[in-house]
Structure 1
C-alpha cells in the first residue's frame, strides 16, 4: 500500500458530492425566478407586437384619411403574434370625421382577454 503525502492537494469524493448537492439546492431555489422571467418576457413580446400592430393601423389611417376608411378600421381581421395570441382591435372610435376637419381616432388592441395597447391619434381628413 502506498503512502500518501500530506502535500498532495485534491478533493475527496465526499467533498465533490457535497458540492454537487449544494449546487443542486441553489439551482432549485433559482428555478421559480427563471420561470417567472420567461413568462414575463413572453407577455412583453405580446405587448410589443400589439403596439406595432396598433401603430400600423394608425399609419394606414393617416395614409388613407377618408371617413369610410376610418370607420372600417374596427372591422380589421385579427392578427396572431409569435406566441399564438390573437390580437384584435376593439373599441375603435372615430369622432369629428368630416372633410376639412381633424378626426380623432382611438385604437385599442386586445389579446389574452386584456388590453395590450391603446392610442389616440388626430388625423386630418382632406
Structure 2
C-alpha cells in the first residue's frame, strides 16, 4: 500500500511583500492629502477658544458692572465709571492677551445707561458693529442708574 500523499499547501494564502508595500504607499498618499484638513481644524479650534474666552470676559464685565451699580445706588454712575477705568485683564488658552473696554456714558440719574463692552485680541479698538478689525466680540446692555 502506498502512503497517501498530502496535498501541497496553496502558496497564495496571505499577502505578498509587494501588496503590503503598495498598500502602505496608498495610505501614505491619503494621509498627506488629509494633513491640510487637520491643520485647518487646529487653527479653527484655536480661534474658537479665543472667541469663547473673549465672550466669557465680556459677559463677566457686564455682570460686574451690573453688580457695582446695584451695590452703590447713590453713586452708581461713579461706580460704573471707576470700574470702566480699572477693568481686569484676560488671556485666552494660548496665552494671548484679550483687551476689554467698557463705555458707560452717565449723565446722572435716574436713567438707564447704555453700557457697551468690547473685547479685542490686541490693544487696538474695534468698531461699533464688532465684526471688523481685531474685535472678537462685543455686547451692550442697559443698567438702571437711580441717581
User: What TM-score range do you get, normalising by the shorter chain?
Assistant: 0.7 to 0.9
Q: What's the Cα RMSD here?
A: 1.7
CA gap 1:99/1:32 in 2 versus in 1, 3 angstroms: same
Matched, 1:35 2:35: no
SS of the counterpart of 2:104? strand
Q: Which of 77, 85, 89 is equivalent to 1:67?
A: 77
Which residue of structure 2 lines up, in the alignment, with residue 47 of structure 1?
51
Shift of residue 69 of structure 1? 2.4
SS of corresponding position for 1:11: coil
> Is the Cα contact below 8 Å between 2:57 and 2:100 reproduced in 1?
no
Structure 2-normalised TM-score? 0.76
1:4-42 CA distance string (max 9 Å, x none): 515x52110000000001001100100011000001100
Q: Alpha-carbon deviation of 1:74?
A: 4.4
Task: Flag structure 2 segments of 5+ consecutive residues without an equivalent.
Answer: 1-7, 70-75, 125-133
How far apart, CA to CA, are the structure 1 residues paired with 2:19 and 2:47? 43
Match of 1:94? Answer: 104
Q: Which residue of structure 1 aligns with residue 93 of structure 2?
A: 82
From the superposition, tell whether residues 62 and 88 of structure 1 become closer, same or farther in structure 2 (CA, over 3 Å). same
Instruction: Tell me if the contact between 1:89 and 1:110 (Cα under 8 Å) persists in the aligned partners.
Output: yes
Give unmatched runs, 5+ long, in structure 1.
none
**CA distance in 2 between partners of 1:98 and 1:23 (Å):** 70
TM-score (norm 1): 0.87
User: Would you say the 8 A contact 2:103–2:115 is kept in 1?
Assistant: yes
Cα distance in 2 between the residues matched to 1:106 and 1:116: 14
Higher percent of residues as strand: 1
> 1:60 offset after TM fit, Å?
0.5
Deviation larger for 22-31 or 103-112: 103-112
